[in-house]
Structure 1
Amino acid sequence: MQFKHPEILYFLFLLVIPILIHLFQLRRFRKEYFTNVRFLKELSIQTRKSSQIKKWLLLFTRLMLLALLITAFAQPYFEAKDTGNTGNEMLILLDNSFSMQAKGSKGELLKRAVQDLLENTPGDQQFSLLTTNGAYWDTDIKSIQKDLQNLAYSAVPFRPDFLFTKAEAKSRRSKDVVIITDAVNLDSKNVSGLGNGNPVYALVPEAENRKNVSVDSVYISQVMDNFYEVTAEMKAYGDFKDEMPVSIYDGNKMIAKTIIKFNKNKETTAFNIPKKDFHGYVSVSDNSLTYDNTYYFSISKPEKAKVLAIGESVKNSFLARIYTEDEFSFKSSELNALDYNSLQNQDAIILNELAEIPQALVTTLKSVYERGGNIVVIPSGEAKMQNLNNMLGSFGNAAFRGSMANERQITKISFSHPLYQTVFEKKANNFQYPKVSRGFTLSGAGLPVLAYDDQTPFLISVSNRIGNLYVFSAPINKTNSNFQNSPLIVPTFYNMAQNNNKTGISAFTIGRNRSLVLDAQLSADEVVSVKNNEGSFIPMQQLLDNKVKLSFGDYPEKAGNYSIMRGSTLLKNISFNHARTESNLNLDNTSVLDKFTKADSVATVYNDIKSSRTADELWKWFVIGTLVFLLLELFIQKFVK
């Protein structure tokens, strides 16, 4: 037992006063002799003994009364169990990622968590609250009430360790940490370090319905004379037995609708839309998460891709049959007649079996690559390996390591590579594989596109996100290979020449930091903006002669259809979508929170903290004891003779 005012205990010396009074009253009686009457003598003895007992009882009650009263003023208490954390500051980590859109027994998980905070946080409680994309420092619940009620969902995954480190950087004080999350995609490393000397409470709201459907991607699967065939790929998480409607909108106008049934967890459905500018979305409706039900995309009117082949005219002839006038602006040039000034305007440049590649050409090609152009390298059998590697060294660490003289078959196709994503409906096993008589061995960090039967690459790709470098490991002239007669020749070179900034679907994933290069000549102080009806932002931009390179980073904050504007002039329509990282609600990992104190509400947290850190005050019991002995004294005075 401890005392808040131990100095008051010095007043216990006052207990000596009733003792002295009692001793004074118990002094010896003087003998007075009266008539020798036996009865009166015995009565006197009995009265004297009764009086002494009464005085001893009164002394005891008065001593106890005074002692209890003095002790009550000293305010005795038992120390709290968790007194070491009494000075902790409160830190609340609130998950507002998209998975918190799921519905629990009382509504959406995030909205219910916010309501719990508003109803059960004491008005005088100071705390800091951090979400995945925001922070409120040293505040109280009334000050942020409106902000919490309007709190939006975020595409940023919930990472408690990152948020806690952010709070530690601001204040090194010990903290009471409250984590409110559904634990979707949560890993043990995401909560490491939180419990080191800091009490941590975990509130885990649970979704009642874990089934969810998301529109994962949209792509052009076929180009016809007057129509595009657009395919939407969707995923189902959970068992969906009912048919589900899927719609496609151009702007706010629905132009087609179909029904899809999930016989497996991934299904596709196709729409035919007019071959013109398109600025809309594909939408599905389910009774779960809403952020992944809509996929925004834009299609711009196709522009002819500019393709230049550098090499002997005879060897370039097969390319002229692929790059037809209706879709491409194709030119062929011998190396000695090459116009270097025209290279910067090309979308794709093919080096077709050049015996030597000049350094001036390499420098220009690197500039085209950095501006979003595609470079295709077909080596010559007479080329020197050192010359080839000097050229490849400007684009990365891919390199030719040696020559191969034995015949090899090209047997492996990377069906998931962007070159072939829309070419094959399914993986081909009985394909007529082409072959090569002699060539080189490729190594390095290039991504294999086609490979020989010994797993060494025949074709690799290197990308800087806006431009691509494609490198063959062998000459593909008809003397050395039958690749020109293979069904692969057309889709391979056709897609190599496509510039995604000019053709195809324009749909960016927010946060992936993909860049876009546009044909636009801007002055030094001129900028382009990205806007729609709900807002606008200015992306990072870099001037590249007659082009501008845009980088979007984590913007925009909201998915949708946008337009890239130069003042009031439309440069390009563009669309943004959130990554589908929160779509699978079955990825909740609540076990990583087991080491923390589980709570079912915010009120439980505050009650637990208060009870564990509040000292057990004893003064009221001593006051009650004082009153008891006071009543006992009155009882003795009245009834004890």
Structure 2
Amino acid sequence: MSLQTRKSSVIKKWLLLFTRLLLLTAIIIAFAQPYFKAEDSESAANEMVILLDNSFSMQAKGSKGELLKRAIQDILENTPDDKQFSLITNTTVFWDTDVKSVQKELQSLEYSDVAFRPDFLLTKAQAKKPNTTKDIITITDAVNMDSKYLNDLNADASTYFIVPEAENKNNITIDSVYIAQALDNFYEIKVTMQAYGTVEEETPIALYNGNKLQAKTVVNFTEPKQEATFTIPKADFNGYVSVTDNNLAYDNKYYFSITEPEKQNVIAIGETAKNNFLSRIYTTEEYNFTATELSTLDYNILEKQDAVILNELTEIPQSLITTLKSYYDSGLNIVILPNAKSSAQNLNQLLSAFSSTTYSAVKSTEKQVTKIAFSHPLYRTVFEKQISNFQYPKVSAGFTLRGNALPVLTYDDGSLFLASVTNGVGNVYVFAAPVNTDNSNFQNSPLIVPTFINMAQNSNTTGVSAITIGKSESIFIDALLSKDEVVTVRSENSDFIPMQQVLNNKVKLSFGNYPEKAGNYTIYKDNEPLKNISFNYSRNESNLNLQNKAILKEYNIANSVEEVYTDMQSKRTADELWKWFVIATLIFLLLELFIQKFVK
């Protein structure tokens, strides 16, 4: 029995010794504070940059509300108060800030018509601090995202994407408004709309002149593209059409202006006998029509014309070509009816001022005009539906047109009878053959009247005025300005001075990215209103089905800002082993007490 007691005592001593050695070792190692180096420890001092998409598509609603508002709330709630960062949106920059400093500005951040380009935004950040390594959090719905926008973003541990998604991607947008038919006292206007996704119910659409309701109707989207028709008085109009849609709001209104029609100024230069058919088209009730021979032409009256018709001139002088070119740049329409006796060289000298289209030599071959470009602006409002069995005009002889001109009327062999070129404000209409009664029956065709009437229409003085913001469109207005005078563009809530260039008795206005807000505006000289004008946002953000999340597969994708910060912290925080050795010390201490108490 005593032998067994001595053996137990020896075992107890060895256990206590072993336990105390382990206890002492754990204490020593704990004080040494060992750790494993963090996976991404070198990035701990990176500058934080948040790229936030506030384009119109972020108006869409996700599971927790509008995508942009939810993203802002995510930033404010989950960014540590002491965390400094820079935040860049499509339109606004907040440098070296924190959540408390930018809370009010972010909560009142407005949607923008500027497309989200992460490469552009990152360039701003690089320019601000060019030699600083950055952590990048990009929050975007990825609508219309292109892989080329990601060239400056490295797919490494420091780049994260948060991609909120809309729950309902159905949307209706108003694309355009145009005059379908000009009656004696009324305009028939058509509103073109596009539905993305499925729209099963009738959709109300309303027309307003100013803020006064003019008419209402409903549209059934049995097809994605639909049109609504309204009739309005033939007078000044400055209003909008509005569609009821519960998804994106920015594209539910389309602003447009129509100026009460004035008589168009049209001049025909050619032989008196050959100009007679034009005088029957351009009647005195609607046009200020002038017919003159080249020898008696007064060049000074050309600047006041909306359209100039060169009617079978045998020779076109260089002085006339130069004059026409200068007025074409100011919005003049030019109609070229060639003379069979003209040289192709002289005609091409004229055409070279406007495009690369050329005439070849005359051929005495009878041809029929068999194809109409119904979608061409010249005929868009002429035909209610496409027709294939109309009275074919024909010609006995004519030139051949080659080049980049847009087809309007085409022969049965596919070559051009009538083509057009444009600089955006003026148009040049080019016939391949003379249309006199000896060479063609075109003057007896039903096409003759709408063709020549529409060729005389100047886009600056007739039709719908509706400019898309950001497309750098220009218009010309009739105004005489002194050296220091400028015109301004005003609405009820804002005004701006557009880029302007004085050209004789006209002023060319260019708008670039202005105004900032869509709406109806008026152009003023001092306090004298000159012209109503309307601006609309681009519809590029309307199709929510264009989300391109797939191109982000090489990047870190997170569901929230909180998840990003948690991931960064786990990768950049060293694994401190001393804590485990403190725990081991306590375990060994308890083990020693247990041995002393229970081991005999």
TM-score range, shorter chain: over 0.9
Aligned residue for 1:138? 96
Deviations 1:286-305 (A, max 9, x none): 11111111111111111111
| Code of the aligned partner of 1:255 | Q
* One of 268, 272, 280 as aligned partner of 1:309: 268
| Code of the aligned partner of 2:378 | L
| Code of the aligned partner of 1:244 | T
Aligned residue for 2:426? 467
* One of 213, 237, 249 as aligned partner of 1:254: 213
Give SS of 1:298's match. strand
Distance 1:49 1:271, change over 3 A: closer
Aligned residue for 2:41? 83
Q: Which moved more, 1:588-597 or 1:377-386?
A: 588-597
Q: Does 1:265 align with 2:224?
A: yes
Distance 1:615 1:246, change over 3 A: same
Pairwise CA RMSD of aligned residues? 2.5
* One of 215, 219, 232 as aligned partner of 2:178: 219
Which ranges of structure 1 fall in alignment gaps of 5 or more residues? Answer: 1-42
Q: Is the 8 A contact 2:155 2:554 kept in 1?
A: no
Deviation at 1:352, TM superposition (A): 0.8
Rg bigger for which structure? Answer: 1
Q: Is the 8 A contact 1:449 1:460 kept in 2?
A: yes
* One of 478, 481, 494 as aligned partner of 2:437: 478
Distance 1:333 1:618, change over 3 A: same
Distance 1:382 1:176, change over 3 A: same
Q: Does 1:149 align with 2:77?
A: no
Aligned residue for 2:511? 552
Q: Which moved more, 1:255-264 or 1:329-338?
A: 255-264
Q: Does 1:113 align with 2:79?
A: no
| Code of the aligned partner of 1:549 | K
Q: Is the 8 A contact 1:401 1:442 kept in 2?
A: yes
* One of 431, 437, 455 as aligned partner of 2:414: 455
Give SS of 1:144's match. helix
Counterparts of 1:152 and 1:380, CA distance in 2: 60
Q: Which moved more, 1:161-170 or 1:559-568?
A: 161-170
Q: Percent identity?
A: 63
Counterparts of 2:109 and 2:437, CA distance in 1: 64
Aligned residue for 2:252? 293
Q: Which moved more, 1:568-577 or 1:201-210?
A: 201-210
Q: Does 1:321 align with 2:280?
A: yes
Counterparts of 1:61 and 1:265, CA distance in 2: 80
Counterparts of 2:198 and 2:18, CA distance in 1: 80
Aligned residue for 2:350? 391
Deviations 1:544-571 (A, max 9, x none): 1111100011111111101111121101
Counterparts of 1:95 and 1:183, CA distance in 2: 9
Counterparts of 1:627 and 1:584, CA distance in 2: 63
Q: Is the 8 A contact 1:174 1:198 kept in 2?
A: no
| Code of the aligned partner of 1:330 | F
Aligned residue for 2:59? 101
Deviation at 1:365, TM superposition (A): 0.5
| Code of the aligned partner of 1:159 | R
Q: Does 1:526 align with 2:485?
A: yes
Deviation at 1:332, TM superposition (A): 0.7
Deviation at 1:348, TM superposition (A): 0.9
* One of 193, 196, 204 as aligned partner of 1:237: 196
* One of 593, 604, 623 as aligned partner of 2:563: 604
Q: Is the 8 A contact 2:49 2:135 kept in 1?
A: yes
Deviation at 1:204, TM superposition (A): 2.1
| Code of the aligned partner of 1:187 | D
Deviation at 1:68, TM superposition (A): 3.3
Deviation at 1:342, TM superposition (A): 1.1
Deviation at 1:329, TM superposition (A): 0.7
| Code of the aligned partner of 2:482 | S
Aligned residue for 1:5? none
| Code of the aligned partner of 1:400 | Y
Counterparts of 2:360 and 2:44, CA distance in 1: 67
Q: Which moved more, 1:111-120 or 1:515-524?
A: 111-120
Q: Which moved more, 1:354-363 or 1:99-108?
A: 99-108
Deviation at 1:172, TM superposition (A): 4.8
Deviation at 1:113, TM superposition (A): 1.4
Deviation at 1:73, TM superposition (A): 3.1
Q: Which moved more, 1:110-119 or 1:514-523?
A: 110-119
Q: Which moved more, 1:356-365 or 1:70-79?
A: 70-79
Deviation at 1:324, TM superposition (A): 1.2
Q: Is the 8 A contact 2:205 2:242 kept in 1?
A: yes
| Code of the aligned partner of 2:64 | K
Deviation at 1:49, TM superposition (A): 9.8
Q: Is the 8 A contact 2:329 2:423 kept in 1?
A: yes
Deviations 1:480-538 (A, max 9, x none): 11111122211111111111211111111111111110110111221111111121111
Counterparts of 1:475 and 1:280, CA distance in 2: 43
Aligned residue for 1:128? 86
Q: TM-score, normalised on structure 2?
A: 0.93
Q: Is the 8 A contact 1:191 1:592 kept in 2?
A: no
Q: Is the 8 A contact 1:132 1:157 kept in 2?
A: yes
Counterparts of 2:105 and 2:360, CA distance in 1: 61
Counterparts of 1:153 and 1:625, CA distance in 2: 57
Q: Is the 8 A contact 2:476 2:509 kept in 1?
A: yes
Counterparts of 1:47 and 1:262, CA distance in 2: 98
Aligned residue for 1:431? 390
Deviation at 1:198, TM superposition (A): 5.3
Q: Is the 8 A contact 1:414 1:448 kept in 2?
A: yes
Distance 1:416 1:135, change over 3 A: farther
Deviation at 1:51, TM superposition (A): 9.3
Q: Does 1:404 align with 2:363?
A: yes
Deviation at 1:634, TM superposition (A): 6.7
Counterparts of 1:135 and 1:456, CA distance in 2: 55
Which ranges of structure 2 fall in alignment gaps of 5 or more residues? Answer: none
Q: Which residues in structure 2 correspond to 1:610-621 (within 5 Å)?
A: 610-621=569-580
Counterparts of 2:51 and 2:529, CA distance in 1: 42
Distance 1:45 1:235, change over 3 A: closer
Q: Which moved more, 1:69-78 or 1:149-158?
A: 69-78
Q: Does 1:569 align with 2:528?
A: yes
| Code of the aligned partner of 2:103 | Q
Q: Is the 8 A contact 1:296 1:576 kept in 2?
A: yes
Aligned residue for 1:159? 117
Deviation at 1:46, TM superposition (A): 11
Distance 1:571 1:65, change over 3 A: same
* One of 55, 71, 77 as aligned partner of 2:29: 71
Deviation at 1:169, TM superposition (A): 4.2
Q: Is the 8 A contact 2:156 2:555 kept in 1?
A: no
Deviations 1:271-330 (A, max 9, x none): 121221111111111111111111111111111111111110111111111111122111
Counterparts of 1:172 and 1:320, CA distance in 2: 72
Q: TM-score, normalised on structure 1?
A: 0.88
Counterparts of 2:245 and 2:500, CA distance in 1: 39
Give SS of 1:143's match. helix
Counterparts of 2:445 and 2:114, CA distance in 1: 46
Q: Is the 8 A contact 2:155 2:555 kept in 1?
A: no
Count, aligned residues: 599
Q: Which fold has the larger relative contact order, with Cα–Cα distance below 8 Å and residues 6 or more apart in sequence? A: 2
Counterparts of 2:373 and 2:5, CA distance in 1: 117
Aligned residue for 1:542? 501
Counterparts of 1:168 and 1:394, CA distance in 2: 45
Q: Does 1:330 align with 2:265?
A: no
